[in-house]
Structure 1
Amino acid sequence: MDVQADLTRIDAADVLELRVGDAEGGALALRRHGRSGAGLLPVERVVRSGASLKAPLDGLPLDDGEWDVLWVDGDGRAAPVDTTDTGVHLSDRAAYLRRPRRRELRAVRDAEGRLLLRATTVEPYAEVDWVEPPSPGGDTVAVRGVLAYAPDPGGDGAPTVIARQRSLDGVVEAPADLDGRAFSCALPLEPMALLFRPERPHNEWDLWLRLPGGAELRLAAHADDIADKKNKIVYPATVLEPAGAPVRVRPYFTAKNELSLLAVSAGGAA
């Protein structure tokens, strides 16, 4: 009993859509990946239209981890669903980010071409989709993006971008713009250079977006699934001399794909 899907995606409402071609009858179920003897979790409320199936996944008791997507025939026999779809649809990801949620569901294809469902507990953050590094001789970094998994912003106050000096006490704030769930900001770099502590060769500044009402979201870039941005994306630096000692400052992604700023002595390694 081989069932193959040439389209697999999960929309912003956590509805799994499959295009399964000629597969007749049957039902969908989930099982913890790697546990062939585990019980099946039926997927109810499946709606079929031609070759397409739509299965709402909201409300299912899915623990964090990977789940096999199974096709159960009329005799109760379960088999994995194969897929030719990579499951990466950036336009769908952008829509998915914009809904408040604490659990993320992803349709992924394993090395054998089988369809898996990946469940992950998530926290709201500020998804960065553009970084404008400082121009030669410039002193600002511009950033834009969207609120990810966060409730719609509300409450009193104006949005602010905050840079905190890691393991030290420096704090720099600048105004941010918020248009619905889209944010943008321009962060001045001269204050970081002024607060540079030479006894700590690398001064890292972690970036947060404070929303009206006081909630703070870490700036990060996760939606594109590019791992290890720290070593793959290198932004140019600018050199500032606010106190006479040159300091080199540049944006960078951390090992967790969070956006930060790095300040070092202009005579040291960047």
Structure 2
Amino acid sequence: MDVQADLTRIDAADVLELRVGDAGGGALALRRHGQSGGGLLTVERVVRAGGSLRAPLEGLPLDDGEWDVLWVDGDGRTAPVDTTDPGVHLSDRAAYLRRPRRRELRAVRDAEGRLLLRSTTVEPYAEVDWVEPPSPGTDTVGVRGVLAYAPDPDRAGAPAVVARQRGLDGVVEAPARLDGRAFSGSVPLEPLAARFRPECPHNEWDLWLRLPGGAELRLAALADDIADKKRKIVFPGTVLEGGGTPVRVRPYYTVANELSLLAVADGGAR
């Protein structure tokens, strides 16, 4: 009993869509990856239209981890669903980010070409889709993006981009703009250079978006699934006078793909 899907996606409402062609009658179930035998979690209310299935997953008790997607035939026999779809649909990811949620569901293909469902607990954050590094003669870093997994923001109050000096007490704030769930702002770098602490070879400043009402979201770039941005994406910096000491400041991604700023004495480590 081989079932193969040439399209697998999960939409913003956590509905799994499969295109399975002429697989015949059957049902869908989930089982914790690596388990065998029982432990099936039946997916109810599956709607079929031709060769496509739409299976609502919202409300299912899916713990964090990976789940096998199984086809259950009329005799109760199960078989894994194979897929040729890599499961990367960036336009779907953009829509998925815009819904408030505490659990992220992803359709992924394993090394054997079998369809898995990945469940992950998530926290709201500010997804960065553009960084404008400082150009010669400028002293700001621009950012823009969208609120990810967060409730719709209040309209009363002014948003801000907040830079916090990691492990120290420096705080720099700058106005931000909200257009629906999209945000943008610029961080001035002169105040960071003025607060440079030469006893710390690296002065790191972590970036947050403060929403009207006071909630703060960490700036990060997670939606594109590009791992290890710290090594793969290197932004240029600019040199500023920091209390008489030339200081080079540039944006960078941390090991967790969060956006921060790095200040070092010019001529030091970059």
TM interval, short-chain normalised: over 0.9
Residue identity matched to 1:32: R
Query: How many pairs are equivalent?
Result: 270
Whole-Å separation in 2 of the counterparts to 1:37 and 1:143? 50
2:10 aligned partner: 10
What's the TM-score once normalised by structure 2's chain length? Answer: 0.99
Query: In 2, distance between residues paired with 1:140 and 1:38?
Result: 58
What does residue range 100-249 of structure 1 map to in structure 2 within 5 Å?
A: 100-154=100-154, 156-249=156-249
Q: Could you tell me how far apart the structure 1 residues matched to 2:228 and 2:142 are?
A: 22
Q: Which stretch of structure 1 is more off in the superposition, 35-44 or 168-177? A: 35-44
1:243 deviates by 2.1
The amino acid that maps onto 1:78 is T
Question: Identity of counterpart residues, as a percentage?
Answer: 85
Residue deviations 1:204-257 (CA, integer Å, cap 9, x gap): 000000000010000000000000000000000100014221000000000000
Q: In 1, Cα distance between the equivalents of 2:229 and 2:267?
A: 25
Separation (CA, whole Å) in 2 of partners of 1:221 and 1:233: 11
Please say if residues 196 and 242 of structure 2, whose CA atoms lie closer than 8 Å, have aligned partners that are also in contact: no
Letter in 1 for 2:197: R
Q: Distance in 2 between matches of 1:95 and 1:225?
A: 15
The Cα offsets for residues 169-214 of structure 1, whole Å up to 9 and x where unpaired, read as 0000000000000000011001010000000000000000000001
Alignment correspondent of 1:256: 256
- Matching of residues 85-104 of structure 1 within 5 Å: 85-104=85-104
Amino acid at match of 1:28: L
* Alpha-carbon distance, 1:156 to partner: 3.1
Residues 82-111 of structure 1 show CA distances to partners (whole Å, capped at 9, x for unaligned) of: 000000000000000000000000000000
Cα distance, 1:137 vs structure 2: 2.4
Amino acid at match of 2:9: R
TM-score normalised to structure 1 length: 0.99
Question: Quick one: distance in 1 between partners of 2:152 and 2:107?
Answer: 26
Deviation for aligned residue 1:155:
5.5
Q: Secondary structure at the match of 1:246?
A: strand
Structure 1 residues not aligned, in runs of 5+ = none
Distance (Å, rounded) in 2 between the aligned partners of 1:211 and 1:38: 46
Deviations 1:96-135 (A, max 9, x none): 0000000000000000000000000000000000001000
Contact 1:32 1:38 in 2 (8 A): no
In the other structure, the counterpart of 2:30 is 30
- Residues of 2 paired with 1:37 and 1:162: CA distance? 51
Give the equivalent residue in structure 2 for 1:266. Answer: 266
* Preserved CA contact (<8 Å) 1:70 1:79: yes
Partner amino acid, structure 1, of 2:193: A
Look up the equivalent residue of 2:30 and give its one-letter code: L
Please report how far the alpha carbon of residue 37 of structure 1 lies from its aligned counterpart in structure 2 after TM superposition: 2.8
What are the superposed Cα offsets for residues 131-188 of structure 1, whole Å, 9 maximum, x if unpaired? 0100012100000000000000015320000000000000000000000000000110
